[in-house]
Amino acid sequence: MTVKDSMEKAAHILKENKIESPVKEAGVLLAYVLKKDVSWLYAHPEHCPGHDELTEFDALVNKRSKRMPLQYITNSQEFMSLNFYVNRHCLVPRPETEILVGEALKWIKNCCRDRVRVLDIGAGSGAICVSIAWYSGKTIIDALDISKRALLVAEINAKKYHVDNRIKFINADFTQWENEEIYNIIVSNPPYIPRKEIETLMPEVRDYEPLAALDGGRDGLKFYRSLAPRIKKLMAPGGAAFVEVGMDQAEQVVNIFRENGLNTSVFKDLAGIDRIVRIFF
């Protein structure tokens, strides 16, 4: 069986299982098995993969047909032009979170301090904290997560990009955690899906991503209500916090922080959706 035949067969199976881009994903999976670029496949359509390679490819196509996210199969996701290791213990980093990192980095760049202390609440794969550490050498970061397994992923990524010496990983429930430090900047992409909506999400998210990364309580706003009254105790004077919010949540999140005497501004994502709330006082 050639590369071309294998890809056509896999694309057909993926399409039958309602995968949105079956040809593209068949290519990604075969390239992953053969340890080549997708472009190599198109340049070598008559190449015949070995028996073991075809067996592995079939197994991966089968996993994807059961709607396991492609990123958990290939253990990788690009974020902020970095390649993150991911597995099913962490959320797959999303493009909209890059807006949060971009705004946080702008703030850090304009801050005249030599050292900027950062707190990442709900670090997951480390997408936010590792990117901030990678793009700004003056940051020292505490990265907190309730999931020990997610933090292990974050550590892998911090080591991969040689920023592990500037990130302290803290396995704790934020709602119970007592801070010993104060921070110049707080970043968080918290779980914000209203609990009853989780059932309606696509199978890749609903059946595979960690519930703790999704479940924002009854109305999705549990985390913001827990952060707002504590923020003055966590933040150094002149500091700022950047939090991601779900679609249609920005106004309610702004109100939660305003009710606690805090100032806010809102940034949109590339789809024009209000996505990041900046908090300052």
Ligand X SMILES: C[S@@+](CC[C@H](N)C(=O)[O-])C[C@H]1O[C@@H](n2cnc3c(N)ncnc32)[C@H](O)[C@@H]1O
Q: Is 22 in the site for ligand X (CB under 6 A)?
A: no
> CB-wise, 49 or 190, nearer to ligand X?
190
Q: Is 234 in the site for ligand X (CB under 6 A)?
A: no
One residue of 14, 60, 123, 227 binding ligand X per CB under 6 A = 123
CB 211 within 8 A of CB 244: no
The site for ligand X, by CB under 6 A, has a size of 23
Q: How far is the CB of 124 from ligand X (least distance, A)?
A: 2
Q: How far is the CB of 47 from ligand X (least distance, A)?
A: 36
Q: Is 190 in the site for ligand X (CB under 6 A)?
A: yes
Q: Is 194 in the site for ligand X (CB under 6 A)?
A: no
- Within 70-223, strands assigned E span 77-79, 82-84, 116-121, 139-145, 167-171, 183-188
Q: Is 157 in the site for ligand X (CB under 6 A)?
A: no
Distance CA 142, CA 123 (A): 9
Q: How far is the CB of 229 from ligand X (least distance, A)?
A: 15
Query: 24-60 b/e with 16+ CB inside 10 Å = b?
Result: ebbbbbbbbbbeeeeeebeeeeeeebeeeebebbeeb
Distance CA 170, CA 241 (A): 19
SS3 content of the chain, % helix, strand, coil (to 5): 45, 20, 35
Q: Is 173 in the site for ligand X (CB under 6 A)?
A: yes
Q: Is 144 in the site for ligand X (CB under 6 A)?
A: yes
> CB-wise, 170 or 266, nearer to ligand X?
170
CB 84 within 8 A of CB 93: yes
Q: Is 146 in the site for ligand X (CB under 6 A)?
A: yes
> CB-wise, 26 or 141, nearer to ligand X?
141
Q: How far is the CB of 71 from ligand X (least distance, A)?
A: 11
Pairing relation of β-strands 77-79 and 82-84?
antiparallel
- Report the site for ligand X in 56-115 (rule: CB under 6 A): 90-91, 93, 97
> CB-wise, 117 or 222, nearer to ligand X?
222
Q: Is 139 in the site for ligand X (CB under 6 A)?
A: no
Residues forming the site for ligand X (CB under 6 A): 90-91, 93, 97, 122-125, 127-128, 144-147, 150, 173-175, 189-191, 212-213
